[in-house]
Structure 1
Amino acid sequence: MQTQLADFIKDTPAGREADAILGACVHCGFCNAVCPTYQILGDERDGPRGRIYLLKMMLEGQDTSARTRQHLDRCLTCRACETACPSGVEYGKLLDLGRPLIEAKTRRPWRERLQRLALRKLLAHPRRFGLLLWAARLARPFLPQQFKSKLPAPATPPAPRPTRPHRRKMLMLEGCVQPVLAPSINAATARVLDRLGIGLVPVAGGCCGALSHHLAAQEEARAFMRRNIDAWWPHLQHGAEAIVLTASGCGAMVKEYGHALRHDPAYADKAARVAALALDIGEILAREDLSGFKTTTPRKIAFHSPCTLQHGQKLGGLVESLLVELGFESVPVADGHLCCGSAGTYSLLQPELSQRLLADKLRALQAGGPDCIATANIGCLSHLQTQTDVPVRHWIEWLDESIAPGPDL
C-alpha cells in the first residue's frame, strides 16, 4: 500500500512505524474473513481492511469524523486478522498509533469521555475497583436487569499460598481486576508451581497498562509499565527466572513493554528484558516435567482460547495440548478463533455487539456437552460466566483441583 503521510506525522517515529505497517498491506482481504465485527455487520469499514484505509486517510491528513471514530471503536483488537494475514501486517500496532490521533481530531460527547475516564481510574486500581464492586452489590436490588446480569458473585477467599522455600524463584503479575474478581487464580498458580519446586516471590503490583493503552491514554499506560518494571527489576537482578502471567490480556501487554518503551532511554533496556522474561503460565508448564502430575478427577472440558493468547501471544493450541496431556477430555469448539466479546472494556463500551459475540461463543463452547469451561483470561472468564450455568474457571484452577500432589520437593 502506497502512502503519503501528512507533515504532522511523516518524520516522527510514529509516522515511520505507521508507514512501514501500511506498506506491508496488499489489500487481499483475508483479514475480513476472520473479523468478528465484519461477520456481524458486513460493512467494509467494520473489518480490518476498511479500518486500515480509514487510518491511512487520517494519517495522510484527510478529514476525520465521528463516523470514522465509530468504526475504529467497534474494533475488538482481537488481532485475528494478524493471524490470518499472509503479509504480516501488524494491525494492532497501527490501531494503537491511530487511537490517540482520533481522540485529538474528533471530540467525543461528554458522556463517552466521562465513561472512559471512569473505566481508567476505577478498573486499573484494585482497591477502587473492589469498593465499586462492593457498593454495586449493595445496590443490586435497585439496578436494571442488564447490570444485574453482569455483576459477579463475591469471590470465595482462596486457600493460603504455599510458603515452602525453593531454590527456583519466579515473579507474578498480580493484576488489577483479577485479584478482586478471582483471587483463586493466582493462588492456584502458586500451588501448581510449588509442586514443581518453583517459588513465587510476592511483589507489589497492579495494572499492566493495557486498559489505559487501549483507551488511548498511552502515557498513563507507560507510567504503569515503568512502575511494574521498577518493582520487578531488583528481583530479576537477583535471579528470578521469569515473570508469570496468568491473564493472557496482561501477557500480551507485558510482552510489548520493550516496544512501548523503546524510545525511553531510562527504561528501554529494562523493558526489553522484562518482555523477554514474561511468560504465560502455559509456557512455563510446557517447559517443565509434568510426569509427576496425576489427574485424579478428569473432566470433559471446553477451552475458550482468548484472543490475547492465540492471536496476541501466538500461543494457540498450547493450553489445549497441556490439558489433554494431563488427562482432560478436550471438547472441540467450532470457530475457536473468534472473540467472545469481552475484549477488555469492549463489553461495557459496545454492549450490543459484545452480547451477540458472547451468545455465539457460548453456543460453540456448550455444543459438545462439557462438564466445565476453561479459559486463560479474567475478562473472558467474567464475561462467559454471565450467560451460562456451566462452570467457567481459569484452566490453572481446574488443573490445580484435578492433580494429586506428588512427593515433597
Structure 2
Amino acid sequence: MQTSIVKKYANTPEGKTAESILRKCVHCGFCTATCPTYQVLGDELDSPRGRIYLMKQMLEGHEVTEKTRTHLDRCLTCRSCETTCPSGVEYGKLIDIGRHIIEKEVPRSFTERLTRQALISVLPNRPLFTALLKVGQAFKPVVPGKLGKKIPPKRTATPWPVNDHARSMLVLDACAQPGATPNVNASAARILDRLGISLRAAPEAGCCGAVAYHLNDQAGGLDAMRANIDAWWPSIEAGAEALVITASGCGVMIKEYGHLLAGDPAYADKAKRVAALCKDMTEVFADLSIESLKLAAKDTKVAFHAPCTLQHGQKIVGVAERYLREAGFELTTVADSHLCCGSAGTYSITQPELSQQLLGRKVEALEAGRPDVIATANIGCHLHIETGAATPVKHWIELIDEACA
C-alpha cells in the first residue's frame, strides 16, 4: 500500500513504524474472515482492513472524528488478523500507535476519561484490587443481576511448596490473579517442585504494564515494565532459568518488552533479556521431562478455550490441549476456537454490549460438547467466561496439577 505520511508524524518513531506496517498491507481482506467484531457488526470499518484505512487517513492528515475513534476502540486487539494475514502486517503495533495518536486528536468526554483512569488506578494495583474484590465477594449474595454475576467467587490457594532446589525459575504474580484465582501459581509451583525446580515470585513485581499501555497511558505502562525489570533482575543475575507466566495476556506483553523499551538506553538490554526468559507454562513443559509426573486424570471432559494472547499473540497453538490429552482428559470440539471471548483486558468494561455478544457465542461453542469443566490459560478469559457459563472454569495448569495428585 502506498502512503504519504504528513510531516507531523513522518519523522517520529511512531510514524516511521506505522508507515512500515502500512506498506505491508495489500488490502486483500483475508483478515475480515477472522475478525470477531466484523463477524458481529458486519461493518467494514469494524474490520482490520477498515481500521487500517482509517489509521492511514489519520497519518496522512485527513480529518478524524469521534466516529473514527469509536471504530478503533471497538477493536479487541485479539490479533486474529495477524494469524490470518499473508503479508505479515503487525496490526497489534499499528492499532496501539493509531489509538495513541487519536487520543490526542479527539479528546474524550469527562465520563470516559474518568472510567479509564479508574481502570488504570485500580486494576494494576494488586493490594487495592484484592481488597475491593474481597468487599465485592462479601456482598455478592445481595448484589443484584448482572453486576453480581461479574464478581468472581471466593477462591483459596492450596499449599505452595517450600523445597529449595538447585534449579529455580521466577513467576509473575501480576495484579488480578493473586486475588481472583490464587491457586493457579500454586499449582504451577507444585508441578515444577515435582520436577526439581523451585518457583519464586518477586514481591516487588506487579502489573505487566498492559492495562495502562492499552488504555493509552503508554508512559505509565512503560514505567510498570521498568519496575518489573528492576524487581526481577537480582534473581535473573542469580541464575533464574526462566520467567514463568501463567496468564497468557501478561506473557504476550512481557515478550514485547524488548521492542517497547528499545529506545530506553538504561533498560533496552535488560528488557531484551527479560523478554527472552519469558515463557508460557506450555513452553516450560516443552523443556522438561514431564513424563516423570505420571499424570493420571479422572474421567473428565474438558472444553479448552485458547486465549487470543496465547494463540495469536504468542503463536502457541494446540500445545496446552496436547498436554491435557496426554494427562488423560477427554477434550471436546470447540467451534470457531480462533475467535475472541470478548474479555480482551478491559474491553468487557469499555465495550460491554459487544463483549457480551462475543461471550454468548463463545460460551455456546464451549458448552456444546457438554464438558465437565472449561479450561483456559488467561485470567481475563477465565473471569469473563465464568460470568456466562453454567460449567465450572479452571486454568488448565490446575487440571494438570490435579492429574498429578
Q: TM-score, normalised by structure 1?
A: 0.96
Structure 2 partner of 1:397? 398
Deviation per CA, 1:21-79, whole angstroms, max 9, x where unpaired? 00000000000000000011000000000000111111111111000010001000000
Structure 2 partner of 1:407? none
Structure 2 partner of 1:166? 165
Structure 2 partner of 1:183? 182
User: What aligned pairs does 1:266-281 form with structure 2 within 5 A after superposition?
Assistant: 266-281=266-281
Structure 2 partner of 1:362? 363
Whole-Å Cα distance in 2 between the matches of residues 292 and 228 of structure 1? 33
Whether the 8 Å contact between 1:297 and 1:403 is mirrored in structure 2 is: no
Structure 2 partner of 1:328? 329
Whether the 8 Å contact between 2:327 and 2:403 is mirrored in structure 1 is: no
User: What aligned pairs does 1:244-393 form with structure 2 within 5 A after superposition?
Assistant: 244-293=244-293, 294-393=295-394
Whole-Å Cα distance in 2 between the matches of residues 133 and 330 of structure 1? 32
Structure 2 partner of 1:49? 49
- Which shows bigger deviation, 227-236 or 295-304? 295-304
Cα distance change, pair 309–296 in 1 and its aligned pair in 2 (3 A):
closer
Partner of 1:244, secondary structure, is strand
Whole-Å Cα distance in 2 between the matches of residues 237 and 88 of structure 1? 35
| Corresponding letter in the other structure for 1:363 | E
Whole-Å Cα distance in 2 between the matches of residues 287 and 29 of structure 1? 38
Whether the 8 Å contact between 2:165 and 2:197 is mirrored in structure 1 is: yes
Whether the 8 Å contact between 1:126 and 1:176 is mirrored in structure 2 is: yes
Partner of 1:357, secondary structure, is helix
- Which shows bigger deviation, 292-301 or 281-290? 292-301
Whole-Å Cα distance in 1 between the matches of residues 131 and 331 of structure 2? 38
- Which shows bigger deviation, 92-101 or 318-327? 318-327
Whole-Å Cα distance in 1 between the matches of residues 287 and 299 of structure 2? 22
Cα deviation for residue 143 of structure 1 reads: 4.3
Whole-Å Cα distance in 2 between the matches of residues 290 and 134 of structure 1? 36
Whole-Å Cα distance in 1 between the matches of residues 391 and 297 of structure 2? 21
| Corresponding letter in the other structure for 1:203 | A
Whether the 8 Å contact between 1:302 and 1:374 is mirrored in structure 2 is: yes
Whole-Å Cα distance in 2 between the matches of residues 168 and 326 of structure 1? 25
| Corresponding letter in the other structure for 2:40 | I
Whole-Å Cα distance in 2 between the matches of residues 296 and 68 of structure 1? 50
Cα deviation for residue 95 of structure 1 reads: 0.6
Whether the 8 Å contact between 1:81 and 1:91 is mirrored in structure 2 is: yes
| Corresponding letter in the other structure for 1:197 | G
Whether the 8 Å contact between 2:297 and 2:329 is mirrored in structure 1 is: no
Partner of 2:169, secondary structure, is strand
Structure 2 partner of 1:29? 29
Deviation per CA, 1:141-174, whole angstroms, max 9, x where unpaired? 664522112111122x212210111111100110
Whether the 8 Å contact between 2:161 and 2:189 is mirrored in structure 1 is: yes
Deviation per CA, 1:367-408, whole angstroms, max 9, x where unpaired? 11111110000000001111222110000001101114xxxx
Whether the 8 Å contact between 1:6 and 1:61 is mirrored in structure 2 is: yes
How much is the aligned-residue C-alpha RMSD, in angstroms? 1.2
Sequence identity, in percent? 56
Say whether 1:131 aligns with 2:135.
no
Whole-Å Cα distance in 1 between the matches of residues 201 and 32 of structure 2? 43
| Corresponding letter in the other structure for 2:117 | L
- Which shows bigger deviation, 138-147 or 363-372? 138-147
Cα deviation for residue 238 of structure 1 reads: 1.2
Whether the 8 Å contact between 1:342 and 1:354 is mirrored in structure 2 is: yes
Partner of 1:339, secondary structure, is coil
Whether the 8 Å contact between 2:36 and 2:339 is mirrored in structure 1 is: yes
Count of paired positions:
403
Structure 2 partner of 1:230? 230
Structure 1 regions of 5+ residues with no counterpart?
405-409
After TM superposition, the runs of 4+ consecutive aligned structure 1 residues lying more than 4 A away are 138-144
Cα deviation for residue 287 of structure 1 reads: 1.8
Structure 1 partner of 2:13? 13
Partner of 2:244, secondary structure, is strand
Whether the 8 Å contact between 1:286 and 1:322 is mirrored in structure 2 is: no
| Corresponding letter in the other structure for 1:278 | C
Structure 2 partner of 1:217? 217
Cα deviation for residue 280 of structure 1 reads: 0.2
Whether the 8 Å contact between 1:298 and 1:402 is mirrored in structure 2 is: no
